Amino acid sequence: MNFLELAKNRYSERFFSSRPVEQEKLDKILEAGRIVPTACNYQPQRFYLIRSEDGLNKLKTVTHFHYNVPLMILVCYDLNEAWVNPADRYYQNYNSGEQDATISATTMMYEAEELGVHTIWVRGFDSKTVADVYGLPNHIIPVMMLGLGYPNEKAKANAWHYKRNPIESFVTEL
């Protein structure tokens, strides 16, 4: 399958089985998140694996969007490692951390799809609550969660997955 087919076929899974993701596949997924381009190659992205019973129980206290995944990757960035642009007039002291972490998460999402592992992108949480519940240091900033696992018998893409705006609504030539 080529990349565009893979990207079109991938959907946000909401019906996971309890089957764990094999370590070999998880290692490839994490490697995909490690090797991405980051601003000035500072590599501020950080991944926290949530798969223990205790970790998954805590997950249910910080978001309603857990979908009973067997594995959640909490994607963060290290504020001390992110590139900062003090000259940006729109975003004063802009730092690249969220952008770098998002590139990592996206790449992991597509690697998972390539390996037959389904994913769900989760941003329905309060970052401070997540940091507090999981005991993260103040310089580690939660960006999003990537749920991974295998589909159960109810799995299917939501109808809105197939609704796409025309390319003209995205592209403007300057």
105-136 pLDDT, tens digit per residue, is 999 999 999 999 999 999 999 999 999 999 99
CATH number of 3-148: 3.40.109.10
Residue 92 C-alpha from the chain's centroid:
26
Band the pLDDT of 92: cuts 50, 70, 90: confident
* Residue 63: both structure tokens together: 């978001």
C-alpha span between 67 and 81 (Å, rounded): 32
pLDDT over 90 percentage in the chain: 89
Domain spans in the chain, listed from the N-terminal domain onward:
3-148
Please give the helix or strand (H or E) that residue 94 lies within, else none.
strand 94-95
Please give the helix or strand (H or E) that residue 91 lies within, else none.
none
Rounded to two decimals, the pTM is 0.94
The pLDDT value recorded for residue 86 is: 85
- 31 pLDDT more than 90: yes
Q: In what order do the strands lie in the sheet with 118-122?
A: 45-50, 71-78, 140-149, 118-122
pLDDT over 70 percentage in the chain: 100
Please give the span between the terminal C-alpha atoms of the chain, in angstroms, as a whole number.
Answer: 34
Residue 102 C-alpha from the chain's centroid:
7
The pLDDT value recorded for residue 51 is: 97
C-alpha span between 135 and 143 (Å, rounded): 15
